[in-house]
Amino acid sequence: MMDILFDTQLASFFTSAAFIIIGLFAAIFLDNIIKKIIGIAFIEEGANLFLVTLGYKPGGIVPIFLPGMNSEWFAANSAYALPHALVLTSVVIGASTLAVMLAIAMVLYKKHGTLSTSKILGDEK
Amino acid sequence: MNELIPLMVIIPIACGLLLNLLHKKDRSIRILAIFVAIVLPIIPLLSNFGLHYFGGHAPLIDNSTLLGTLPSFISNSALAIFHPAITYSYQSLQKLFIFILGIVAFFAIFTSFNETKKVSGPYMFLMFMGTAAVTALLLSDDIFHMYIFFEIAALCQVGIILVSSTKGNYETALKYMILGSIGGPLLLLGIGFLLGAVGSVNITDIVYAIKHNLVNPFSQTFLIGFGLIFFGWLYASGLPPFHTIKSSIYSKALPHSAALLQSFTVITFIALGIVIFRIFSYLPFMKMVILIFSLITMILGVTMAIIQTDFRRIIGFLAVGELGYIGIGIGIGTTLSLTAGIFQAVNEILTTALLFIGFGTVFYLTKTSDMKKLGGLIAQNPKVAIMVLLGGFAMAGVPPFNGFQSKLMIVQSSLNAGFPEIAIIAVLISIITFMTFMKVFHSVYLKPKPQDLQVVNESIPTSTIFSIVILLIICLIIGLFPQLVTDNIYPFVARLI
Amino acid sequence: MGLYDMIVNSFKEVRKKVVKDSATNESVSSALAAELTLISTLLIAAIMLRHFNITLTVVVILGLGLLLTTNMPLIPKIKREQDDSLEKMVFYAILTLGILITVIYWGQTNV
């Protein structure tokens, strides 16, 4: 048990799983539209955290090749940089999705006067 | 000229951004949009086949000077073969689909000028941005890059619905986004599992790693990655359980943008479907899962289409149901069936676009799409009615149109592969599609005109009629000379298997 | 006039009741067609199980046929389950995800 707590990578994986599960719960079961959107942000961040964690290396160094470094030593010790680069893009996508969703929520609030999803989406037929 | 490959994506993005800046300068927007829309289908015809590495980072094996300076454990390993850059791969299949997408985008933009009163810069931006995103999806050989552009395409689809200002469009857009926010991150998670197992997001590299036993392809990492990517594929292409939201999106968009939206969906379906086929075809149950979902799509899509009363919704459901044919082509997994499936995708893009634009004229004339309130519109413009009828024939698979050729190929390939049941279901569903279409045609055009039906606009714009005529001619040409299309598909498929 | 109004009003009420149940010729026939399509395609699709096991196929087809015919008006039920409400769509999405992951993950490791 203590090993799990002190292993940074494993702990991060568990955190990302918890993010995704909490986010799914919020997005499915909560009625308030803002809470739903927060839950959705949780799912996205969970997936991003998962990707970041993949690039982690215990005791690794920053993956920047400086002059004078031994390339063999660098290759053996640097963290994996690709997931970090990918997450940057995916965070931007997540943010724009979130912005669009909040904008729609604003419009719907003005139209219906309530934030309850069942009331907003239930009455249109 | 491989420099043209990135231009296929860059030109529509740049044009979209420029149009957004030019907001309210109607004349310049019109000229620029039409010009770029004409250029879009021409670029793929001029470009040569090949690969494009962004930033010029070719694989190490192609760069002998750099390879010599690296330690031997890198230069002798698979790392020397892996692709460090985002790679665009332009082959015959991409050429075909980008050309078709360019044509549909051109007609969608062209008809939108006359059917909407105001020319809107942001609306054009969304159309061009979506086109660029879907083009990138086709070209990309990098699964993460595909995810990014898929999300951009989804955002553009939501935007197109939001600007359509039909009743209930905001609600539908919100539902799509909530469902998409469950499907999208799970797709990303699946990609993460593949990245964790292989260490690369390049599809060619992943396939190489699996083929050369660098990784254990039956490990649980791969299995769960397959499950999540497959679920993301279901969401991306609107297979069940996402068929209701997909058809509802088509019905909330304006008809000409619905024509563009369905082409986005079909191309996303094909692009991601081919990726799944390339990576996971070693799994024995992969084809079975695809077949099951395709059959459910066909059955549910068509049965739901029959009982609707809104004709835009009916076409939406039919468009979703037709995706099942493509899925069957991928699911059977022989060379003939894959060719047939991809051929069917081309035909579906064209015929559904034709039907959306054609029935869009009814919506344009009367501002309603409820079939109970419609009737007798054949007197309004009999020529358009006849052309829409022919478009429906093309969709249902009546010779000599294109749908007949591809559906015949699918039936043949399923018989050859030892699945006569699928052949029977394909024929049956095609008959029901025809019946549904005739029902719509009857209640919109032939039924006596209700007295309270008001015709808002007197005449159909010439640009719309022009689009319908050209699309119909393309359908007829492909139906008469299917080898024009299949010759482009076959070499790609032959390398795939 | 009172009697006349009453008669007219009763007609209107009857008409309202009739109109509310909007079962036109067309909708009934299309529901019937959809019903037949659904049953026949599902039964034909079930025959595909013969690639795994013949006995299983016979059992499944008999069971499926019995199930489908005893629940005969299937289309209203299916239509109710597939309407545009967000809850139902999310429910089916999560259900599909669960089944897919369960079958793919544990189905492979424990066979």
DSSP per residue, B192-252: HHHHHHHS--BHHHHHHHHHTTSS-TTSHHHHHHHHHHHHHHHHHHT-TTSHHHHHHHHHH
Residue type, B47: S
Per-residue pLDDT tens digits for C28-59: 888 888 888 888 999 999 988 888 788 888 99
What does the alpha-carbon distance between residue B324 and residue C49 come to, in Å, rounded to a whole number?
19
Q: Provide the number of CB pairs (under 8 Å) joining chain A to chain B.
A: 95
For residue A125, pLDDT over 50 is answered with no
Share above pLDDT 90 across residues of chain A, in percent, rounded to a whole number: 46
Q: Is B340 helix (H, G, I), strand (E, B) or coil?
A: helix
Nearest CA in chain B to A106: B170
Q: For residue B167, which phi and psi values (nearest 5 degrees)?
A: -70, 130
CB contact at 8 A, B82 and B57: no
Residues of C engaging B, defined by a Cβ cutoff of 8 Å: 22, 24, 26-27, 30-31, 33-34, 37-38, 40-42, 44-45, 47-48, 75, 78-79, 82-84, 86, 89-90, 92-97, 100-101, 104-105, 107-109
Q: What is the CATH number of the domain that holds A75?
A: 1.10.287.3510
Instruction: Give the closest-approach CA distance of B476 to chain C in angstroms.
Output: 29
Nearest CA in chain B to A110: B170
For residue C111, pLDDT over 60 is answered with no
Average pLDDT, chain B: 89
Cβ of C86 within 8 Å of Cβ of A24? The answer is no
Please tell me the least confidently modeled range out of B5-14, B183-192, C80-89.
Answer: C80-89
Chosen from B195, B200, B249 to mutate, greatest number of chain A CBs within 10 A: B195
C-alpha of B411 from chain center: 22
Peptide bond just before B240 cis, omega within 30 deg: no
Residues of B in contact with A48 (CB under 8 A): 188
**Residue C109 — pLDDT band, cuts 50, 70, 90?**
low
Cβ of C90 within 8 Å of Cβ of A117? The answer is no
Q: For residue B386, which phi and psi values (nearest 5 degrees)?
A: -65, -40
Break chain B into its structural domains and give their ranges: 284-497
B13 closest CA partner among B153, B156, B125:
B125
Nearest CA in chain A to B188: A47
Average pLDDT, integer, range B120-125: 83
Cβ of C85 within 8 Å of Cβ of A121? The answer is yes
- For residue A64, give its domain range: 2-122
For residue B275, pLDDT over 90 is answered with yes
What does the alpha-carbon distance between residue B255 and residue B244 come to, in Å, rounded to a whole number?
18
Per-residue pLDDT tens digits for B166-189: 888 899 999 999 999 889 999 999
Q: What is the pLDDT of residue A34?
A: 93
Helices B420-441 & B382-396 angle (0-180, nearest 10): 170
- Segment (H or E) for B90: strand B87-90
Looking from the CA of C94 toward its CB, the CA atoms found within 13 Å total 14
Q: What angle do CA A47, A53, A55 make, to 5 degrees?
A: 120
For residue C23, pLDDT over 80 is answered with no
Break chain C into its structural domains and give their ranges: 73-111
- Tell me, yes or no, if A83 comes closer than 8 A to chain B by beta carbon: yes
Share above pLDDT 90 across residues of chain B, in percent, rounded to a whole number: 51
Per-residue pLDDT tens digits for B204-253: 999 999 998 888 888 888 999 999 999 999 999 989 889 999 999 999 88
**Residue B133 — pLDDT band, cuts 50, 70, 90?**
very high
C59 closest CA partner among C68, C47, C51:
C47
For residue A2, pLDDT over 60 is answered with no
Residues of C in contact with B248 (CB under 8 A): 84
Nearest CA in chain C to B240: C93
Q: What is the pLDDT of residue A26?
A: 92
What does the alpha-carbon distance between residue B227 and residue B222 come to, in Å, rounded to a whole number?
9
Peptide bond just before B84 cis, omega within 30 deg: no
B339 closest CA partner among B286, B275, B274, B401:
B274
Cβ of A47 within 8 Å of Cβ of B186? The answer is yes
Q: Is B88 helix (H, G, I), strand (E, B) or coil?
A: strand
Q: What is the pLDDT of residue C20?
A: 54
Q: What is the pLDDT of residue A4?
A: 57
What does the alpha-carbon distance between residue B212 and residue B290 come to, in Å, rounded to a whole number?
25
Buried b (16+ CB within 10 A) or exposed e, B194-211: bbbbbbbbbbbbbbbbbe
**Residue A68 — pLDDT band, cuts 50, 70, 90?**
confident
Buried b (16+ CB within 10 A) or exposed e, B416-441: ebebebbbbbbebbbebbbbbbebbb
Indicate the residue of A33, A97, A120 with minimum beta-carbon distance to B151. A97
* Beta-ladder partners of B243: none
Cβ of B182 within 8 Å of Cβ of A107? The answer is no
Assembly ipTM: 0.92
Share above pLDDT 70 across residues of chain B, in percent, rounded to a whole number: 99
E strand spans, B91-230:
none
Q: What is the pLDDT of residue B19?
A: 87
* Beta-ladder partners of B87: B53
Average pLDDT, integer, range B477-485: 91
Q: What is the pLDDT of residue B20?
A: 83
Q: What is the pLDDT of residue B119?
A: 67
Instruction: Give the closest-approach CA distance of B425 to chain C in angstroms.
Output: 6
Q: What angle do CA B390, B392, B397 make, to 5 degrees?
A: 95
Spatial CB neighbours of B466, under 8 Å, sequence gap ≥ 6? B110
Cβ of B177 within 8 Å of Cβ of A89? The answer is no
Residues of B in contact with A27 (CB under 8 A): 178, 181-182
* Number of neighbours of residue C72 by Cβ within 10 angstroms: 9
Q: For residue B16, which phi and psi values (nearest 5 degrees)?
A: -60, -45
Per-residue pLDDT tens digits for B85-98: 889 999 999 999 99
Six-digit token pair at B455?
A: 């015709």
- Residue B8 to residues B13, B37, B94, B110, B149, Cα–Cα distance (Å): 9, 12, 11, 19, 14
CB contact at 8 A, A101 and B177: yes
What does the alpha-carbon distance between residue B151 and residue B136 come to, in Å, rounded to a whole number?
12
Neighbours of chain A (3+ CB pairs under 8 A): B, C
Share above pLDDT 70 across residues of chain C, in percent, rounded to a whole number: 87
CB contact at 8 A, B264 and B163: no
- Residue B141 to residues B51, B84, B147, B379, B426, Cα–Cα distance (Å): 9, 12, 11, 51, 32
Query: Which of A112-116, B17-21, B64-68, B472-476 ranks highest by mean pLDDT?
Result: B472-476
For residue A6, pLDDT over 80 is answered with no
Buried b (16+ CB within 10 A) or exposed e, B214-248: bbebeeebbbbbbbbbbbbbbbbbbbbbbbbbbbb
Q: What is the pLDDT of residue B66?
A: 79
What does the alpha-carbon distance between residue C105 and residue B193 come to, in Å, rounded to a whole number?
13
- Segment (H or E) for C62: helix C54-70
Residues of B in contact with C110 (CB under 8 A): none
Indicate the residue of C31, C44, C105 with minimum beta-carbon distance to B421. C44
Q: What is the pLDDT of residue A124?
A: 46
What does the alpha-carbon distance between residue A12 and residue A18 come to, in Å, rounded to a whole number?
10
Average pLDDT, chain A: 87
Q: What is the pLDDT of residue A64?
A: 85
For residue B344, pLDDT over 90 is answered with yes
CB contact at 8 A, B145 and B86: yes
Indicate the residue of B226, B241, B432 with minimum beta-carbon distance to C92. B241
Average pLDDT, integer, range B403-432: 92
For residue B163, pLDDT over 90 is answered with no
What does the alpha-carbon distance between residue B288 and residue B291 come to, in Å, rounded to a whole number?
5
**Given the DSSP bridges, would you call strands B87-90 and B50-53 parallel, antiparallel or unpaired?**
antiparallel
